[in-house]
């Protein structure tokens, strides 16, 4: 006879639900920390996962529905077992804020089983052993979350094996090259501390921007240190392809040449085109010679923390509704039902509506976007004749992801990883990149005026100044062509500052004066392999290459797209006199209409 067991436990914790969520909702870590066995995924069909527990004697297999959650208040999951002593299980965790700023965590488990031995063992195994382990884990997360608010370490959750004597010695030896190449010794010491203290789950995918934010350090400096550490042999680098829908990892590659321009997500059952600034995240892990890490270990393959951009996921039966309390950051969100067409856009603002009725029918969603508050109650209405899973996603990608576009725009990457290029014939898009072309005014006359050797020296000096100023602003030289330079940056303001600093430094070198002719533009491009180096092609490249032709020397010519950038506008307002900046139009080859440009004397 089938019996149902129900357990409900409550603990009052000091941390807020938001602070606890990254740990408690990481069920892979939680299952590991509470002593549960490793699992293996046998199949994944539209989000329904067929899993097996790695046990030496008992065969335990089940189908797992997608997790449901509403950040940072609750999550739950249902399992239906096909093999093993249990028939069904439901887990639900609720995080209710307390008046004093803490959290009342309620953890509920219901289990159905027809197995007589399981019925005898469940009260002790779950009611006593599991309860004690769960409380211990949650209270440890509470301490870590509290310490993180106070500026202490985030990484000491779980068991720690740390660096061996040999690993520590190798790190010290290899890190000398990292410091010699320009990384701050303090940063290198922080990396050693991290590799020594972090548990294996934290080391499987190290995200340099997230670590930099936690350390309170400059993101680019940390990313450049990671690249130098990779070249030195301390770390290994992976180019992970992310699904544009669920943003899960579809493929991981050890070098850029293995990346294709298209990929497939088994979870979402979609094909997608790979994009340098959206779909490729560069992550790191320790090299086995420094610290061996088991990368294939999994204790849970579905978790809210695997999709941090999804703030709410709820299943609602046909012709039913459900009010859901949400906590949002300012910005745009997309709400979709996985078995209905289309989506609806939500804008979260402080003065938005505190209540919103959001209805989906078999025809999809209404076209009008909705403004909601930062703490809204969303009434989700399933007006279709099928069960639906509603998901609310942040529109913006995580800014803690170091994308392929970020990495390949750095001079450090191009210097250390010159052979890291896309495969010949492969074309991968990049949504937006800032491009700069420079040239020298009257360089031919310079050679006649002062002679070949002195003129060549001055031109080489100008290249060195440009390379230094470009690298200091987080850019990279793509190639040189005679006296001309093509460079790339992630942000327009970096290109402008680079030009400004370079021309100022060139002016200090005295007569005969060298005058830069510079063009700056941004737009989408195609990343290709040209002569075994990363290069860019497309209309944005063609436009930028022609802008220096409008300069008389000592002038930066930039497009309307650059001028409209908020950081550019702020820089111009604070540093530029109106007489040195002017707007004009000109004919650019390939454009039928006059092209709007701006001229800035630098």
- Give residue 148's pLDDT: 66
Mean pLDDT of the region 502-525: 85
Lowest mean pLDDT among 142-151, 243-252, 302-311: 142-151
Mean pLDDT of the region 332-349: 91
- Give residue 471's pLDDT: 94
Question: Which helix (DSSP H) or strand (DSSP E) does residue 63 occupy?
Answer: strand 60-64
Q: Is the pLDDT reported for residue 570 higher than 70? A: yes
How far is 22 from 201, CA to CA, in rounded Å? 13
How far is 183 from 517, CA to CA, in rounded Å? 32
Q: Band the pLDDT of 152: cuts 50, 70, 90.
A: very low
pLDDT digits (tens, 9 = 90+) for 224-257: 999 999 999 999 999 999 888 777 888 889 889 8
Mean pLDDT of the region 525-545: 91
- Give residue 556's pLDDT: 94
Q: Band the pLDDT of 580: cuts 50, 70, 90.
A: confident
Q: Band the pLDDT of 536: cuts 50, 70, 90.
A: very high
Q: Is the pLDDT reported for residue 151 higher than 70? A: no
Give percent of the chain with pLDDT exceeding 90.
65
Q: Which residues pair with 582 in a beta bridge?
A: 599
Mean pLDDT of the region 411-436: 91
Query: Does 591 or 173 have the greater pLDDT score?
Result: 173
- Give residue 463's pLDDT: 87
How far is 598 from 602, CA to CA, in rounded Å? 13
- Give residue 227's pLDDT: 97
Q: Is the pLDDT reported for residue 64 higher than 90? A: yes
pLDDT digits (tens, 9 = 90+) for 436-491: 999 887 666 666 666 666 667 777 888 899 999 999 999 999 999 888 899 999 99
Q: Is the pLDDT reported for residue 138 higher than 80? A: yes
For residue 361, the SS3 value is: strand
Give percent of the chain with pLDDT exceeding 70.
94
Q: Band the pLDDT of 159: cuts 50, 70, 90.
A: low
Domain edges within the chain: 3-149, 165-301, 310-394, 421-601
How far is 167 from 156, CA to CA, in rounded Å? 19
Q: Is 558 exposed, middle or buried (0-12, 13-18, 19+ CB in 10 A)?
A: buried
Mean pLDDT of the region 21-31: 93
Please identify which residue in the block is written with the tokens 């293995």.
Answer: 258
How far is 277 from 408, CA to CA, in rounded Å? 10
pLDDT digits (tens, 9 = 90+) for 355-371: 999 999 999 999 888 99
The whole-angstrom distance between residue 188's C-alpha and the CA centroid of its chain comes to: 22
- Give residue 153's pLDDT: 42
pTM: 0.84
> Treating both helix axes as pointing N-terminal to C-terminal, what angle do 492-508 and 452-472 enclose, rounded to 10 degrees?
140
The whole-angstrom distance between residue 573's C-alpha and the CA centroid of its chain comes to: 32
How far is 373 from 349, CA to CA, in rounded Å? 5
Of 16-25, 445-454, 505-514, 584-593, the range with the highest mean pLDDT is 16-25
Range 421-601: architecture per CATH: 2-Layer Sandwich (3.30)
How far is 22 from 29, CA to CA, in rounded Å? 10
- Give residue 231's pLDDT: 96
Residues 47 and 78: beta-carbon distance below 8 Å: no
Domain 3-149 CATH assignment equals 1.20.200.10: no
Mean pLDDT of the region 255-267: 86
**Closest among 434, 440, 335, 352 to 389, alpha carbons compared:** 335
User: What residues contact 376, with CB distance under 8 A and at least 6 apart?
Assistant: 325, 326, 328, 348, 352, 353, 354, 355, 356
Computed over every residue of the chain, the mean pLDDT equals 89
């Amino acid at each position: 006879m089938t019996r149902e067991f129900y357990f409900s436990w409550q603990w009052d914790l000091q941390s807020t639900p938001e602070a606890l969520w990254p740990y408690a909702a990481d069920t892979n870590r939680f299952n590991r920390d509470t002593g549960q066995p490793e699992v293996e995924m046998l199949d994944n069909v539209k989000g329904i996962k067929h899993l097996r527990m790695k046990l030496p004697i008992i065969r335990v297999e089940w189908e797992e529905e997608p997790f449901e959650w509403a950040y940072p208040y609750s999550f739950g999951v249902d399992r239906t077992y096909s093999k093993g002593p249990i028939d069904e299980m439901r887990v639900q965790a609720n995080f209710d804020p307390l008046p004093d700023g803490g959290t009342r965590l309620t953890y509920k488990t219901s289990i159905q089983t027809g197995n007589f031995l399981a019925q005898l063992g469940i009260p002790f195994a779950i009611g006593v052993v599991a309860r004690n382990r769960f409380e211990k884990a949650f209270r440890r997360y509470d301490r870590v979350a509290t310490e993180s608010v106070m500026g202490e370490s985030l990484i000491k959750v779980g068991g720690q094996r740390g660096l061996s004597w040999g690993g520590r010695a190798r790190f010290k030896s290899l890190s000398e090259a990292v410091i010699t190449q320009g990384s701050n010794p303090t940063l290198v010491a922080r990396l050693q501390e991290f590799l020594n203290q972090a548990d294996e789950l934290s080391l499987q995918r190290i995200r340099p921007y997230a670590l930099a934010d936690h350390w309170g350090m400059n993101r680019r400096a940390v990313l450049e240190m990671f690249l130098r550490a990779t070249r030195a042999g301390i770390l290994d680098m992976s180019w992970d392809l992310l699904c544009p829908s669920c943003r899960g990892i579809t493929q991981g590659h050890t070098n850029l040449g293995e990346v294709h321009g298209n990929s497939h997500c088994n979870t979402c059952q979609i094909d997608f085109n790979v994009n340098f600034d959206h779909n490729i995240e560069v992550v790191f892990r320790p090299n086995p010679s420094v610290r061996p890490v088991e990368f294939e270990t999994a204790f849970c393959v579905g978790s809210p923390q695997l999709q941090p951009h999804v703030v709410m996921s709820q299943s609602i039966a046909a012709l039913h509704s459900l009010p859901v309390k949400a906590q949002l950051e300012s910005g745009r969100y997309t709400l979709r039902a996985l078995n209905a067409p289309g989506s609806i856009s939500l804008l979260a603002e402080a003065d938005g509506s505190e209540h919103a009725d959001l209805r989906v029918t078999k025809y999809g969603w209404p076209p009008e976007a909705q403004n909601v508050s930062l703490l809204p109650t969303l009434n989700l209405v399933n007006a279709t004749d099928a069960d639906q899973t509603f998901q609310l996603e942040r529109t913006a990608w995580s800014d803690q992801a170091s994308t392929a576009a970020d990495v390949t725009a750095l001079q450090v990457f191009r210097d250390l990883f010159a052979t890291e290029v896309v495969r010949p014939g492969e074309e991968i898009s990049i949504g937006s990149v800032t491009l700069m072309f420079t040239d020298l005014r009257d360089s031919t006359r310079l050679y006649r005026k002062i002679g070949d050797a002195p003129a060549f020296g001055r031109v080489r000096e100008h290249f060195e100044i440009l390379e230094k100023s470009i690298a200091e602003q987080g850019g990279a030289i793509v190639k040189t062509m005679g006296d001309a330079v093509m460079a790339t940056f992630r942000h327009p303001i970096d290109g402008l500052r680079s030009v400004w600093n370079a021309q100022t430094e060139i002016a200090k070198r005295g007569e005969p004066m060298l005058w830069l002719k510079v063009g700056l533009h941004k737009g989408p491009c195609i990343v290709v392999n040209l002569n075994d180096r990363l290069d860019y092609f497309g209309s944005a490249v063609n436009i930028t290459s022609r802008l220096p032709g409008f300069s008389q020397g000592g002038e930066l010519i930039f497009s309307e797209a650059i001028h409209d950038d908020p950081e550019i506008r702020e820089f111009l307002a604070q540093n530029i006199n109106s007489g040195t900046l002017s707007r004009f139009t000109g004919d650019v080859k390939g454009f039928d209409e006059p092209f709007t440009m701006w001229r800035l004397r630098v």
